[in-house]
Amino acid sequence: MDAPGPEPERHDEDRVARIAALAQEHGRSVALAESLTSGRISALLGQGEAASEWFRGAVVAYDEEVKYDVLGVTRGPVVTDTCAREMATGVRRLLGGDVGLGITGVGGPGPQEGRPAGTVHLAVVSDEESWTRELSLPGDPDEVVAAATSCALAELRLALEGEGPPAADARRE
């Protein structure tokens, strides 16, 4: 999946408004585990309408040890679908969210764990379903983080709409 347009952050406020409306409409709560995005997604969600009613919170697990010790991620590589899924599962358990999202990756400028800059793994986990998605996003570190943020918001919207991911792009768990 590629970044959503040349200026991905331009529609983030609209995405957050839709997430807020869906969460309230369906009585669902959201919890996040962020690494690559360093709290950018949670900062946006916290600005959503009535966020205190549906946004449980976030763990910014930039350091590997935080992923392992706080979120219960299995020790090993952290730029993987497995890590993103375990982050989402862990934050859901920790914060009591109905929907958990985990995001990890390589912002750049260089590679990490043999993965090139722009590699992003995100996962959505709920009682009903879970899926992971691997993205390859172009740009410098700021552009990668901005595009990853937009993609994560789009995935949260899909989860709250109950539609799940497009089958060709994601791996269902």
pLDDT value, residue 6: 40
Residues of the chain with pLDDT under 70: 1-10, 166-173
- With the C-alpha atoms ordered 46, 36, 18, 26, is the resulting torsion angle positive or negative? negative
Identify the three-state secondary structure at position 126. strand
pLDDT value, residue 167: 59
Find tokens 């690559």 and name the residue: 36
User: Per DSSP, which regions of the chain are E strands?
Assistant: 30-34, 55-60, 99-105, 119-126, 130-136, 171-172
pLDDT value, residue 4: 46
Residues 36-72: pLDDT tens digits? Answer: 999 999 999 999 999 999 999 999 999 999 999 999 9
What CATH superfamily is the domain 8-163? CinA-like (3.90.950.20)
pLDDT value, residue 166: 63
